[in-house]
Amino acid sequence: MPSVKLENVSKRYGKIIAVENANLTVEDKEYVCIIGPSGCGKTTLIKCISGIIRPTEGTIYIDGKVVNDIPINERGIGYVFQDVALFPHMDVFENVSYGLVVKGWKLSKARPLVEEMLNMMALRERIRDRPNVLSGGAQQKTAIARALASGSKMLLLDEPLGSLDVKVRTLLRYELRKIVKDLELTAIHVTHDQEEAMAVADRIVVMKAGRIVEVGTPLQLYLHPKNLFTANFVGEANFFEGRIAGEIKRKTRVVVDECDIYSSDKKFFNETHVVAVIRPEFVVMRKPTGRKNCWKGRIETEAFVGNMVRYEVRTENDKIIAVKLPFAFSTQNWRVGDRVELAFPPDSMLLYEYPQIGLEKEISIE
């Protein structure tokens, strides 16, 4: 069964560094998603794994074997592209069976496997249709079935759902994960959709400017990101620049523009200059009570975002704080212009050392 290991893998095009010193291990039967800003090297990385691109430096292992010099057709990999790349003159059955026929399989031998893949992808009734009469979702299912029918135990997916509408994409991503797990495959899935990655991945790889900056489970990256870029890129977060001013009742006190924030995050920094981070859904918003340790402000914007309502509150110290409330609980009829009070639970407030290059550059996706 295939595992993948990258050791110091880099890919350069002249002075342009597409991937720099990538180290990563993907375990057998693991579903890993790679996310990051456009141009960060996601696709280049999986093309190096597949053999489409040869790395400039480093070593790639598949199932413990060095594959740098092994051609793509001998790596045992199924590759699914964003643009589908089905043969327009072939019907669904012919497209899915193509890889097996090229390998020399007789049609009588290939048919049961192809039909199994088509049944799994709910394409049995479209078996004689050509790509031009298929929906985007059916085309992508055909491409996935073609990759699976090759008998590969590893699946590389390059933005496989990116061209589909939201509803189809949401349904297909769960089907895709189920198939990968049912067939006990190893999958590496590149996507620009964070929600997609959070929904299907066992672990997520976060990339920036050609480098892997963090790897973790969806919950780890969301609740306890190790660095500021991940905190900003995965989901949404509020950032506060401040200074540590001691400890009160086992909580770290951080002063931000003469206002206090408290954190249960136990970290030790060389400097007192820090960044405090909290997700919008963990911010408590209520009517003014005059309590201590609360920030006061006024609602400036309100937006319905799926099952949440997102507010922006401008505080008295001129900070814009994002707040997200579950739709079912936003029945207090908050309105733009309402005065509110904000509280930041210490257990949800994360602390980071202030970056030498500055906060904006550190979290920038450029």
Instruction: Categorize the per-residue pLDDT at 1 as very low, low, confident or very high, splitting at 50, 70 and 90.
Output: low
Q: What percent of the chain has pLDDT over 70?
A: 97
What pLDDT digit, counting tens, does each position of 280-306 carry?
999 999 988 877 767 899 999 999 887
- Residue 332's pLDDT band, with cuts at 50, 70 and 90, is low
pLDDT of amino acid 293: 66
Alpha helices by DSSP H, listed for the chain, are 42-50, 92-102, 107-120, 136-149, 166-182, 194-200, 218-223, 228-233, 359-363
Confidence of residue 314 (pLDDT cuts 50, 70, 90): very high
**Average of per-residue pLDDT values in the chain:** 89
Largest interatomic CA distance in the chain: 79
Q: Residue 44: its pLDDT value, please? A: 95
In this prediction, residue 253 has a pLDDT band, given cuts at 50, 70 and 90, of very high
CA distance 332 to 21: 51
- Per residue in 110-169, pLDDT (tens digit) is 888 888 888 877 888 888 999 888 888 888 888 888 888 877 889 999 988 776 777 778
Q: Which amino acid is at 24?
A: L
- Provide CB contacts within 8 A for 356, sequence distance 6+: none
Q: What is the pTM of this model?
A: 0.89
Q: How far is the C-alpha of 205 from the C-alpha of 189, rounded, in Å? A: 10
Element (H, E) at 284: strand 284-286
**Does 331 score more than 70 pLDDT?**
no
CA–CA separation, 189 vs 156, rounded Å?
A: 6
Determine the Cα–Cα distance for residues 241 and 8; give it in Å rounded to an integer. Answer: 34
CATH of domain 284-343: 2.40.50.100
Q: Residue 4: in which H helix or E strand, if any?
A: strand 4-13
Query: Cβ of 202: how many Cβ atoms within 10 Å?
Result: 17
Mean pLDDT score, 171-195 = 89
Q: Is the pLDDT of residue 330 over 60?
A: no
User: Which CATH homologous superfamily contains domain 4-228?
Assistant: P-loop containing nucleotide triphosphate hydrolases (3.40.50.300)
Domain ranges of the chain: 4-228, 236-275+348-366, 284-343
Mention every residue, 6+ apart, whose C-beta is less than 8 A from residue 163. Answer: 82, 83, 84, 136, 140
